[in-house]
Amino acid sequence: MTLKADFSCCIIGAGPAGLIAAERLSEAGCRVAIYDRMPTPGRKFLMAGRGGLNLTHSEDMPDFVSRYGAASGWMAPLIQSFSPDELQNWSALLGEPVFTGSSGRVFPKSFKASPLLRAWLARLRSNGVTFYMNHDWQGFNDKGALHFTQSMGKSVFIKSDAVLLALGGASWPKLGSNASWVSILNSINVDIVPLRSSNVGGLIKWSDHFISRFAGVPLKRLIVRCGSVQSHGEATITKGGIEGGAIYALGPELRRVLEQQNDVEIFLDLRRDLTIEQIMSRLAQKRGKKSLSSYLSRTIGLDPLSIALLRESALQHQKSLSDEPESLARAIKSCSLIVSGLGGLDRAISTAGGIKRTEIDERMMLKKKPGIFTAGEMIDWDAPTGGYLLQACFSSGITAARGMLDWLNERR
């Protein structure tokens, strides 16, 4: 869509949602300005690239949208408005072709975020998009203008025909998303679900001996269960607990239980390739004078970390590790660990909560503030890692840009 009138659009937030919206708005003929409180754009985008920049996922659309849980119903048309295939084509046109890994995750072939961001920013500047960095949004003045403060404390007031809020959630605040917008929108009675950590590690009280040996050690090809929810993947032992994709996928269930009680059990399958009957059969061999560790290593092939986890589980439950074949086999297939909480927002990859969907119309405009649109993690949706987070940010930015163009054309 191309506008016949030269409208001004202000975008607050220089992350993926804001930048992709700026691209579409500038291509449509709008004068676009991006404001951000940080010195440079795309800081969290670059952080995501440290792990290879998982742009999206290759699974079928019904499975893809199901990853958004309770929000999947209204997220489906949003994701389809700028699909995973379109995102991959967009990356390729910026000189960063993609590949699909064995897990179905999609990455740039360079496995980096910086080349893509450089090409993207160059395109935006060639489209006439201007950037105002070190501008911290303070809200609206009594005339409805946007109020910013610069790094030296100077106030700046901006009027714009349409505004997009794309300030992110509250995770990794040192990269720019500090959720200061919550109090601003609360002041105009926008209903916001409290922000909570998502895609973050679980807190577990390990023994000092365990931490001294295994902090930072990964667990490969893991199956983890919480209640009826099960996930596959990898995890890493940390000084404060356990984190990684297999744990992040359990996040909504862990949060749900922890909101009702002080702790929750997770169960690790330490030998996913063997059935409990096969393990019991192997454990029927005589142990002789071997230590339990040597015995488990020889008969079951357990590594030192898995054996140590069995001992930690027994310690947490204040009991001894049984060497009776059936009990030991059950412990190996369902090693119970007590999670006392989730990591804080400063360590979370993303946040759950945000602006309630009922506060936003189908164009992503705030119902209580016409002309003000929103996108990205500010909205109340939650997704696991695997490409679903970035895809939703891109898709919501595109949807908001289209909504802004529709609204501006109506006003013309």
Domains of the chain: 8-197+350-411 (3.50.50.60), 202-342 (no CATH)
Distance between CA atoms of residues 233 and 4, nearest Å: 51
The string of pLDDT tens digits covering residues 93-131 is 999 999 999 989 999 999 999 999 999 999 999 999 999
Largest CA distance in the chain: 87
Banded pLDDT at 176 (limits 50, 70, 90): confident
**Mean per-residue pLDDT over the chain, rounded:** 94
CB 392 within 8 A of CB 383: yes
pLDDT band at 24 (very low <50, low <70, confident <90, very high): very high
Rounded-to-integer distance, Cα 7 and Cα 41, Å: 23
Average pLDDT over residues 14-24: 98
**Residues 6+ away with beta carbon under 8 Å from 365:** 371, 372, 373, 374, 403, 404, 407
pLDDT digits (tens, 9 = 90+) for 180-202: 999 999 999 999 999 999 999 99
pLDDT in tens, 276-326: 999 999 998 888 888 989 999 999 999 999 999 999 999 999 999 988 999
pLDDT tens digits along 30-78: 999 999 999 999 999 999 888 789 999 999 999 999 999 999 999 999 9
Tokens matching residue 313 = 């589980």
Global pTM value: 0.91
pLDDT of residue 3: 47
- Res. 4: pLDDT tops 50: no
Q: Which residues are CB-contacts of 172 (< 8 A; sequence separation ≥ 6)?
A: 44, 47, 346, 347, 348, 349
Residue 1: pLDDT above 90? no
CA separation, residue 102 to residues 49, 90, 244, 384, 389 (Å): 19, 22, 18, 18, 19
- Cβ atoms 149, 135 nearer than 8 A: yes
